[in-house]
Chains A and B, each alone.
Chain A
């Protein structure tokens, strides 16, 4: 049998989680943002030759594309993933598009007013010039052979502008693929583009989800325990777990994407599970707290192991199929589950035990 780790100076157990947390915080700045949150294009190719990924990447970089090329060998053939960041031009195009939309509405309203009442004509002319300037910047950006003042009809201008905007993303894709074609022979190709606006939206949503979820969990935990220290211990455990998981992401090169974000959130739930188990057994039960803690640990470890087993299987499947969603979810979950073992039984347990023993001392005095 495993000896009870809470016999003796259990506060020494703090060392492990604290080291892990410190190490995670140290590497945290290197956490990579995936295409979902950063914007950009992810191109996936089923490859039929033996391409040189490093050479392709340096060629892409030389052409001004901030690219990251990965080549996978697998049961299902060779697969290449090329991640290209959003270029400056694309940002510029997006910005122009937003501006154009707002200005177009303004000019259309003014045109209607100017037609009815000539006193608006000057203002209309001025705003229309501004609209033309925006459109011309876009035409210049994509090298379109046209000028805004050729369009007297606003609907016509709008269509030409939208065409130019679409041309922008096509141009970027063409530029990348031209270089890729020199290096790679492929049987199928797919591309996913996340526009700057969409990535911004995802970031905003993710932020809201984190805040809401944190508030909900905090309220619930306080509701269930109704005492400060145990509640704080539970929340500390969960927070440390997420930090350790994010540290793991940095170490294993898992970017923050929608799936890995979802996995982090699931970890909060899971880590609260073990924390609640421990804290309930310690705070609400009679008997020797150290025995209770060790008892809870046996149960909790079985829980953690069973979850780890499931995610290990998912991880194995991801290694064979190279499905990024599987890899990201299982990688984050595994890192977090390991982190949870330390955070729960090293940090949370020590906090609650210390609180419990001080309390019983007070009672006996």
Chain B
């Protein structure tokens, strides 16, 4: 018995630590705790232990609520729902990818409270907890932004996204590879082929700097330390500087590099829209100064400011391979066969992968995906557009929430009244009410760690009414005259187990249907049923069974 208590205490601490350390998974931890304690309370026969298990779950639920609070959908918190419409329907794996890309896009702009979820096969809903029109406009712009690919060789734009024929970019299957570990192929139209042939003529083994959204009319301001974080060759100041300047060079639209050494000197913007690309860190020191000089600030993450260099030197010296601050993502070298000046319509970009075995194939896959997404103008595999949005004003949402919570309380009171009318015995009534309240707390905590939307709230209110059912079944069995207490309990549990199993399985398909609007309802209904079977019912039987004797 002492051992069981120790196990219980250890488990509570373990789950609490999980909830504390990984807020994202707190809901899952709670569900896991529910299953673990539920299973244990079926094996542990002591009344005290069953009660303790229930107590442990409630404690964890309250801990989670207190620590992370409850998350509400925009129907309650107020905000805007923006539907992102995909140009065509996509398979679910691609959909997951798109959802995570859109999430990344939104979070890159500091929009951490944004919820992104797939609706069907051709729509993604983005929910923003704000109804400020300007802010929403900014979000829409971020979402709808389709990247522009451009490939630069020796200061000339050789390739452009619009030259690539739509739908012709594909990853070359490994059976068709000739020597490389991975390759991406694509076709270009006539104009593109001719332009490219002209631009790269005689530039064999030059790099083609592949940019996604290369900034127009911009300068880069960074310290030498920032620029050389990724290289051991920092001593070769001249070589590195010329490599960096080389990749920024473009006829008519070059990006100038200023190495900041404590003085800004006399740099001035070329136009009133010239952007200054700076790291977050440096912008704190010189951001205001740059703005005062008329620059528009374009602040990038600190680690994106450091270019990565290619391991081996090219024909013209060191080559910058990647520099996220300016959108440079890869710098493959031009094969001599395409620099003869004769137009080519099909191209292939490939390379060697690092590592061995699985690591190698993963590396190859990652490289392929990267090139593919650059060519496609961003990681989104299909084009998107923004649909008409739903706005819930915050005061209205608050009112909805207030009334819904009143409803939750009312339904508890009404059910208590009903149960007291039926049984007219405080010793039965109190445990039923206590368990209903605990069920509500656990449900709110679990669902609130994901999102409580309208359907979820309806499900929680319903779960109180349906959740009390098993208690009623057990009470009625225990009130019967014939049979011992254990026999009666066994009979009651047989019914409860059957009904809960059937109810859960009937709802299960809804959970996996991907119809996000009603998943909240499905989860609360299923969880409400499971909660009873796993925790409250054993505990309840323990309390009432004692009284019934």
Contacts and interface: CB of A to CB of B under 8 A. Distances in A.
Given A306-B419, A313-B407, A205 B165 contact: no
A192 interface: yes
A310 B466 contact: yes
Contacts, number: 265
Interface stretch (A15-23, A133-141, A196-204): A196-204
Interface residues of A, number: 92
B253 interface: no
Interface stretch (B27-35, B295-303, B518-526): B518-526
B518 A112 contact: no
Interface in B103-162: 119-123, 161-162
B231 interface: no
Interface string B403-417: 110110011001100
A54 interface: no
A201 B521 contact: no
B521 A224 contact: no
A4 interface: no
B400 A321 contact: yes
Interface of A is mostly: helix
Nearest to A234: B502
Nearest to A278: B495
A299 to B, nearest CB: 4
B168 interface: yes
A193 B388 contact: yes
B508 interface: yes
Contacts of A155: 161-162, 164, 166
B510 A112 contact: no
Interface residues of B, number: 85
B509 A269 contact: no
A153 to B, nearest CB: 6
Given A76-B396, A201-B121, A330-B458, A317 B166 contact: no
A169 B387 CA distance: 9
B70 to A, nearest CB: 18
B240 interface: no
B502 A276 contact: yes
B396 A46 contact: yes
Contacts of A213: 505-510
B88 to A, nearest CB: 5
B199 interface: no
B465 interface: yes
Interface string B511-534: 001110110011001000100000
A212 interface: yes
B143 to A, nearest CB: 14
Contacts of A317: 403-404, 406-407, 461
B388 A280 contact: no
A273 B509 contact: no
B424 interface: no
B393 interface: yes
Interface of B: 75, 83, 85, 87-89, 119-123, 161-162, 164-168, 187, 189-191, 193, 345-346, 383, 385, 387-393, 396, 399-400, 403-404, 406-407, 410-411, 414-415, 418-419, 422, 454-455, 458, 461-462, 464-466, 468-469, 472-473, 476, 491, 494-495, 498-499, 501-510, 513-515, 517-518, 521-522, 525, 529
Given A192-B390, A303-B468, A320-B403, 5 more contacts: A46-B396, A155-B166, A321-B403, A325-B454, A329-B455
Interface of A: 36, 41, 44, 46, 76, 97-98, 101, 104-105, 108-109, 111-112, 115-116, 152-156, 158, 162, 165-166, 169, 173, 188-193, 195, 197-198, 201-202, 205-206, 208-209, 212-213, 216-217, 220-221, 224, 258-259, 261-263, 265-266, 268-270, 272-273, 276-277, 280-281, 284-285, 295, 298-299, 302-303, 305-314, 316-317, 320-321, 323, 325-326, 329-330, 333
